């Protein structure tokens, strides 16, 4: 079945046909490094990470570029408030960004280009735009003329038209622009501690040029998917598209599919500075397994809004653990030697196959992770069912079937970035577990309970079942 993806540009689900067969190139708008990133940002990173992993799981060669905006108003503002240089602020939070991504279990992009390292390329693009008549210089600033892009259909990505935008536009007092809709490609230096020489004098690049330049440089033109948060559709991506179109000739020569993820709310409210309700991913990870965060963020379709509430998060904790523990239980069963007799468990084998089909068709339909996760649960419950069934005999054949089912669950989970495999216990936990096993054999339950408490403190859960003791990481 064909892989379909919702394209913001056409407002339709389209078949994903890569520019280069077998390869998929993705450009995701990365962070502006002026602060730690919050769970809302994390949603974007994790959604893209899951899409990337799934595509790779399907056999595509994926190239992901995720930029770092390290020159920007917000960085300059923060630097000046703290008496530091913009460069210092950017470097600090770039380091935190990579640290937090790793903790979140998000794989690093293939390239992480920085705006400040592509000033020359941006200037070249601006020169081209001026040469083609799409941009004009005004006292050291350079602006893009939206009016000139009208013929090319400016507004088509965000589905707005110029007249409406003009009607709603704010009048800026210090405006040098010919039209309020025009946007800055190059901003004249105002002694903010960060500037470069240019044909138009000292200054720094404007908002939307970097992605234009860096996507082309690292992915080649055209490339497949241009992604980002829904709020970037306008004006960022609209303006970026206008520039690319003006410079390269047409939309088709830039990005083929535009993908935007919905926002994450906090208890029904938009995350914002004024409400002081931003949850930093870094803080949450202090108390929460990163897998739970991923599970929660993938539990809704990526384009739907999602609400972070205590209840919803608790639900994710329980659900995610259920998947993990299933594999621990399967591993425990597989720990025992095979026995003779019994008949093959045909149901499990069949269900494993059906589950993969359900998973793939969910993901192929515009990366429906919510539905794909449901398929994981179906598989998990079949595994548990089999182990528990009275007539299930762990003969050599069923051992293989169970192994396959468990491997399948791990593999499909992995395609979304979940690490469901049983984690190895620390030496200390292993020793405590062995001790507890002994205590239980001689029915010294007092000692057994104490050992369970000790394991709990170390972050392990000890469960007793018919098959024996199970100890696994919380």
Partner RNA sequence: GGCGGCAUAGCCAAGUGGUAAGGCAGCGGUCUGCAAAACCGCGAUUCCUCGGUUCAAAUCCGAGUGCCGCCUCCA
Residue from 242, 306, 360, 402 touching RNA (CB under 7 A): that is: 306
- Minimum distance between the CB of residue 225 and RNA, rounded to whole angstroms? 14
What backbone phi and psi angles, to 5 degrees, belong to 114?
Answer: -105, 140
Residue 307 interacting with RNA (CB under 7 A): yes
DSSP conformation class of 123: H
Q: In the window 3-32, what residues touch RNA (CB under 7 A)?
A: 11, 29, 31-32
d(CA 306, CA 40): 9
Give 206 or 417: the residue with its C-beta nearer to RNA.
Answer: 206
Residue 146 interacting with RNA (CB under 7 A): no
Give 12 or 20: the residue with its C-beta nearer to RNA.
Answer: 12
Question: How many residues of this chain interact with RNA, rule: CB under 7 A?
Answer: 76
d(CA 407, CA 426): 23
d(CA 104, CA 118): 28
Q: In the window 221-260, what residues touch RNA (CB under 7 A)?
A: 228-236
Give 197 or 231: the residue with its C-beta nearer to RNA.
Answer: 231
Residue from 152, 370, 404, 425 touching RNA (CB under 7 A): that is: 370
Give 129 or 300: the residue with its C-beta nearer to RNA.
Answer: 300
C-beta separation of 319 from 75 below 8 A:
no
d(CA 466, CA 445): 16
DSSP conformation class of 69: B
Stretch of residues binding RNA (CB under 7 A), selected from 36-44, 138-146, 392-400, 426-434: 36-44
Give 96 or 127: the residue with its C-beta nearer to RNA.
Answer: 96
- Minimum distance between the CB of residue 161 and RNA, rounded to whole angstroms? 8
The residues, ordered by sequence, that sit 6+ positions from 7 with a Cβ below 8 Å of its Cβ are 13, 14, 257, 258, 259
Stretch of residues binding RNA (CB under 7 A), selected from 96-104, 157-165, 285-293, 416-424: 157-165
Give 4 or 403: the residue with its C-beta nearer to RNA.
Answer: 4
Q: In the window 437-466, what residues touch RNA (CB under 7 A)?
A: 440, 445, 448-449, 461-466
Burial of 312 (0-12, 13-18, 19+ CB in 10 A): middle
- Site map (CB under 7 A) of RNA, residues 395-434, x = contact: ----------------------------------------
Residue 164 interacting with RNA (CB under 7 A): yes
Residue 361 interacting with RNA (CB under 7 A): no
C-beta separation of 143 from 158 below 8 A:
no
3-state secondary structure of 176: coil
Please provide the DSSP assignment of 303-370 as one string.
TS-EEE-HHHHHHHHHHHHHHHHHHHHHHHHHTSPPBS-----HHHHHHHHHHHHHHHHHHHBT--HH
- Minimum distance between the CB of residue 102 and RNA, rounded to whole angstroms? 18
Q: In the window 54-73, what residues touch RNA (CB under 7 A)?
A: 73
């Amino acid at each position: 079945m064909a892989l379909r993806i919702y394209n913001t540009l056409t407002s339709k689900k389209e078949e994903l046909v890569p520019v280069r067969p077998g390869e998929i190139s993705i450009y995701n708008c990365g962070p502006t490094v002026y602060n730690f990133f919050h769970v809302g940002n994390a949603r974007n990173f994790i959604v893209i990470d899951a899409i990337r992993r799934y595509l790779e799981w399907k056999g595509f060669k994926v190239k992901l570029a995720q930029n770092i905006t390290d020159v920007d108003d917000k960085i300059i503002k923060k630097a000046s408030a703290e008496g530091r240089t913009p460069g210092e602020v950017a470097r600090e939070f770039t380091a935190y960004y990579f640290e937090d991504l790793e903790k979140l279990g998000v794989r690093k992009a293939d390239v992480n280009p920085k705006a400040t390292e592509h000033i020359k390329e941006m200037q070249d693009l601006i020169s081209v735009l001026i040469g083609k008549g799409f941009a004009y210089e005004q006292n050291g600033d350079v602006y893009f003329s939206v009016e000139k892009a009208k013929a090319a259909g400016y507004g088509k990505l965000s589905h707005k038209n110029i007249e409406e935008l003009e009607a709603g536009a704010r009048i800026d007092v210090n405006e040098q622009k010919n039209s309020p809709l025009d946007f800055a490609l190059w901003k004249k230096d105002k002694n903010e501690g960060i500037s470069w020489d240019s044909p138009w004098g000292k200054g720094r690049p404007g908002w939307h040029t970097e992605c234009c330049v860096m996507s082309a440089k690292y992915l080649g033109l055209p490339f497949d998917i241009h992604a980002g948060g829904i709020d970037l559709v306008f004006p960022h991506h609209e303006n970026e598209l206008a520039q690319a179109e003006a410079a390269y000739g047409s939309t088709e020569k830039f990005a083929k599919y535009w993908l935007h993820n919905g926002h994450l709310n906090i208890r029904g409210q938009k995350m914002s500075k004024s409400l002081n309700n931003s949850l930093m991913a870094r803080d949450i990870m202090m108390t929460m397994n990163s897998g739970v965060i991923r599970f929660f963020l993938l539990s809704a379709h990526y384009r739907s809004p999602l609400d972070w509430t205590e209840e919803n998060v608790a639900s994710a904790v329980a659900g995610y653990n259920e998947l993990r523990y299933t594999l621990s239980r399967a591993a425990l069963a597989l720990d025992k030697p095979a026995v003779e007799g019994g008949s093959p468990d045909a149901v499990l084998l069949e269900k494993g196959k059906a589950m993969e089909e359900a998973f793939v068709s969910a993901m192929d339909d515009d990366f429906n992770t919510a539905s794909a996760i449901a398929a994981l649960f179906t598989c998990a419950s079949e595994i548990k069912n089999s182990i528990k069934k009275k007539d299930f005999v762990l003969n050599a054949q069923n051992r293989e079937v169970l192994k396959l089912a468990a491997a399948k669950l791990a593999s499909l989970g992995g395609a979304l970035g979940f690490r469901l495999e049983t984690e190895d216990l620390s030496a200390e936990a292993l020793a405590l577990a062995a001790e507890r096993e002994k205590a239980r054999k001689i029915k010294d339950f007092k000692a057994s309970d104490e050992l369970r408490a000790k394991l709990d403190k170390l972050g392990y859960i000890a469960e007793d079942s018919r098959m024996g003791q199970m100890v696994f990481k919380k």
